[in-house]
Amino acid sequence: MEQSKILIVGANGAMGSFALLKMFGNENLSVLILPSEQQGFIKDKVMHEDEWHPGDTTVIKKSAFVVGREPSSRDEVGVFTTESIPAGFFDKNGIVVITSKIFHYESVIDSIKHTLNKNTLLLILVNGLNPELSLERICRKKGLTNPVVRAVVMGGTHYTIDAEKFSVHSGVAKFVIGHWKKEMSASWKNMLEKIASVFPREKFVVEPQYGVDYRTLCFDKVLANLVNPVSAFTGCPTIEYVEYDLVRDLITRCFNQGIDVGLSIGLKLSDRSNVISRKLEMYEKAGRTSKAHLPSMGQDSMRSILSRGILYHENDHIGVAVVNEGREAKKPYNAAYIDGFNTILAKVTDYYNTVYKGDKDKAALFLLELMMRNRYSLGLNPNNSPLYDQFRGLDELESRIHIDYAKVKRILSIDEAASVFEENLAAAKQS
């Protein structure tokens, strides 16, 4: 495996750049990006801050990227686009590291299927309960039988970018690799250990897990993402999750209901208060590192607003998946609060994308106005000012929105949060 080809798909994002920096030094390392991304991609990549591995100060110089060919040494990284990567790229065994979001999986597989050997491993780095099953369904539908491994990302990362360099700031403790459906076997253990070996242990820890232990860790990570739908229609960065009592209480309610589901499906969750305190501490650390650390679904919304793009999100594999697991367990559980936010996000997305078909600018202003109304209802500054540096153009867009806040209801109890968010959704639609 150490000598096998490695191809990172989605290396222009935070997690993709993180994986690239951690795997740099392998003998045959390349990336696959869209043609439109090539110019912006080729700049110095820097592991700027790593909370768990502070000794890792990896730098990949701009000159190390070789376009349209495989690297000739460990000091080079091949850069291919979806138009230039050759058929049969994986003439022998290798590994594709997919860091794209779940909603891009179909297009990712279409882009790489002509490159794969039947034994090429697919390693996915993504949020969610069991996204490996979704990727397998897509592959099987397209006639691919390649093995799929999922890495649970224990922590989070973000990036800063300027004209010269792309800097990664990491709070990722480790990857836990495995598969939701697979138990321990000698061949499966051997495969996971080979994958772990391509990440130098002095720079990062990759830990294979099996069966219920792996599923429990998957679920533990999903618990931390249960409030991602709220970030999608409020724009709350993680520091606000812990600094404001109302938001903190709302998040704690989601955690408690998520734990109820986990216990109902037989997972080995530890003491409830300990689980919740660890999650809140994680948000606090992320917030201290960057006041503008926006959870992934919030980032999806913000990028859709600023790029005037269609709105996608991962919630079918996070909040919706958790509620469905509880239903299928047929044991007592309560996830009504989580389900309420799932429903609101689905309504927001459907309306946004409907408006988007006719007027992209109007769709962007709708979603941004909804965020501002919801932020005011939560007792926050309606403007997303902590995000202005990270999301250029946001301040100008917000200046175009005029809301009569005297008519916007404040949330006085978390029990009424969902109903107030619904009222704000109706008002933003009307506006």
Half-sphere exposure (Cβ direction) of 267: Cα atoms closer than 13 Å: 30
* Residue 367 near residue 309, CB atoms below 8 Å: no
Phi, psi of 311 (to 5 degrees): -100, 120
Give the model confidence (pLDDT) of 42-74 as tens digits: 999 999 989 899 999 999 999 999 999 999 999
Model confidence, pTM: 0.79
Report the side by side order of strands in the sheet with 165-170: 59-60, 44-50, 165-170, 157-161
Query: Where do the domains of the chain lie?
Result: 5-210, 225-430
Q: What's the average model confidence in pLDDT over 413-429?
A: 95
Give the confidence band of 293 by pLDDT, cuts at 50, 70, 90: confident
Give the confidence band of 3 by pLDDT, cuts at 50, 70, 90: low
Give the model confidence (pLDDT) of 389-403 as tens digits: 888 899 999 999 999
Q: What's the average model confidence in pLDDT over 298-311?
A: 93
Mean of per-residue pLDDT scores for the chain: 91
| CATH architecture label of 5-210 | 3-Layer(aba) Sandwich (3.40)
Parallel, antiparallel or unpaired: strands 44-50 and 59-60 = antiparallel
Whether 187 shows a pLDDT value over 60: the answer reads yes
Distances (CA, A) of 418 to 228, 325, 425: 14, 22, 10
| 113 alpha-carbon distance from chain centroid | 23
Whether 331 shows a pLDDT value over 90: the answer reads no
Distances (CA, A) of 53 to 8, 268, 283: 22, 28, 19
Whether 104 shows a pLDDT value over 50: the answer reads yes
Say which residue the tokens 């946001």 belong to. Answer: 394
Return d(Cα 384, Cα 324) in angstroms, integer: 33
